[in-house]
Amino acid sequence: MLLWQVEGDSYLPDTGDGGTLVSWVESMAATTAPRPHPKRPRPLSDFLRLDEERDLDELRSRLRVLASCLGSEEREKFEHRLEMGPLPEGRIASLRGEIERLEARHLKRELTRDFEARVAPRTVLQSVLLFARDGRLLAREGEASSVDPVALAGLISRGETGSTWSLTQATVTLVGHLGTRSALVAVFAGRPRADAGATLRVSVGSLEERDRLTNALGHPGGHEALRAFVRTVRVLMEKNA
């Protein structure tokens, strides 16, 4: 068309009306169907973002969902690793694997908790008993009529210092810890709490570190202080249930 307009090339079509190239193009455009409107291009920021950056954003979102089941130190370590900027694919794959394992652990915990809430028998702390290591009952908080006191006294007097044990007796389950001079026993109706042994172990250690309470173990007049201590242990165990 340029040759026709400038040099009058005979091999190019003539518009027949002596019009200019511009007028010819405009007339052709009027007879051509309009083209569809092009799609709006993605924002420039999308073109500039690397696949690795999008992968890290995805991992950050998954970590935020898991935040409630992570300790503060563990969460901060993950956040620090994810804020280090674009990472090699190998390190991103390693982080993704760790987060997937955390998600699986969280799901298992939630399913177990739901199952226990629906199926497992409800845990009821009936009483807490304090014994001297020779088997004498020194203080009690709560109902313990279902416990065989003779069998329990024998178990405590013969048990190994520092041991924690669990025993099913009739319709209850007993969890106990034996210290040097004393022993604590918790009586549960149903399934005992998972941390019952640890709580009793810490409580016995606390008792035997206090001279006032330790001295009361051998004096009948000191049982009131021991009863107050046992009452505190029971409140602690029920509060953490």
Domains of the chain: 52-118 (no CATH), 124-239 (3.30.450.50)
Rounded CA-CA distance 172/144 in Å is 10
pLDDT at 53: 79
Q: What type of residue is 136?
A: R
Write out pLDDT tens, residues 12-70: 555 555 566 667 667 766 666 666 656 565 554 444 456 777 888 888 888 888 877 77
pLDDT at 160: 93
Q: Which of 200, 146, 197 is nearest to 172 (CA)?
A: 146
Rounded CA-CA distance 184/129 in Å is 6
The 3-state DSSP class for residue 132 equals: strand
H or E element at residue 182: strand 182-189
pLDDT at 92: 83
Q: Where are the alpha helices (DSSP H) in the chain?
A: 2-7, 21-30, 44-48, 51-66, 72-82, 89-118, 149-158, 196-208, 211-216, 223-239
pLDDT at 48: 44
Residues of the chain with pLDDT under 50: 44-48
pLDDT at 59: 84
